[in-house]
Amino acid sequence: MDKEKSLFGNAILIFLLVQAFGLFSGYYLENQIEPTDVFLYFSLGDLLPEITFGLLLGILILVFLYFMRNNKNLLKIFFGIFLFVGSFYIFQIYFQLFLALLFSMMLVILWLKLKKVWVHNLAIGLVICGLGVDFGNMIPTQMILIILAVLSLYDFYAVLKTKVLVKVFSGLASHGMVLAMIIPARLQNLNEEYDHLSPNKQFFYLGTGDLLLPLMLAVSLIGSSLASAFLVSLGAATGLGFLYFYIHVLKITRPMPALPPIAFFSIIGFIISIFI
């Protein structure tokens, strides 16, 4: 029971740290941009092409990962590019172009050479923050809400019904390409090598999308209301807590979709912020 409490506490802590750094980076970037008096209103019809393109791109990436899940070399190249691009987005907020590129390359090299949980989590956390800030600033809030709803339904279906996401994750993880934050029951376990681990009572895996999507929603709200952004992040953490207690109270051992409760409580946080 103590390990379960510790695992839950560490999961919430790491989740909130990623959200907090992403929000800080989004706020920092917001204050570097010249204010504008132009107000853009997006209707659902305006957003349909972008939504369709985004969903198709996501499906193509998923199909690629599904069929390439046993090709270690291609996966390593894909993962390296993913880490480089994602971390560059966050580094370029704070550093000049040359330093941002240099730090991104150093991060990829560190990830390739040092197979430690803390290195992996650092890399994934920076990527999530970078992509969360970039997409959160680029995509309108209305569209992110739709994406959250659609992907939550897909996550539920692809994890519990077709199990395609489970197969993709297992295939990637078997080659040391873990598209998730690895949450240890004890912080000392952060120094363990991650390429031989699997989800158990010592470790909890939290997918990149489960962290990225609520961060995108929160960042998209920074320009209009910082309080709304905070409430979305707190709602997302509440959703993670709900999922964790649901799994452990019912003693569920099979993989469970994390995005639906995280997205639901994120949207609840957003709705509450409207009335405050």
Q: Is 265 within 8 Å of 217 (Cβ atoms)?
A: no
Report whether pLDDT(64) > 90.
no
Q: Please enumerate in sequence order all residues whose Cβ is within 8 A of that of 228, keeping only pairs 6 or more positions apart, or say none.
A: 221, 270, 273, 274
Domain containing 52: what range? Answer: 2-274
Handedness of CA 146, 270, 240, 11 (dihedral sign): positive
DSSP state of 221: T
Q: What is the pLDDT of residue 39?
A: 40
Report the range of poorest mean pLDDT among 2-11, 90-99, 203-212.
Answer: 2-11
Average confidence (pLDDT) over 61-80: 70
Q: Using 50, 70 and 90 to split pLDDT, how confident is the model at 40?
A: very low
- Number of compact structural domains in the chain: 1
- Is pLDDT at 243 greater than 70 in this prediction? yes
Note the pLDDT tens digit of each residue in 118-161: 999 999 999 999 999 999 998 889 889 998 998 999 888 878 77
DSSP 189-205: GGGSBSTT--SBTTEEE
Q: How far apart are CA 22 and CA 43, in angstroms?
A: 27
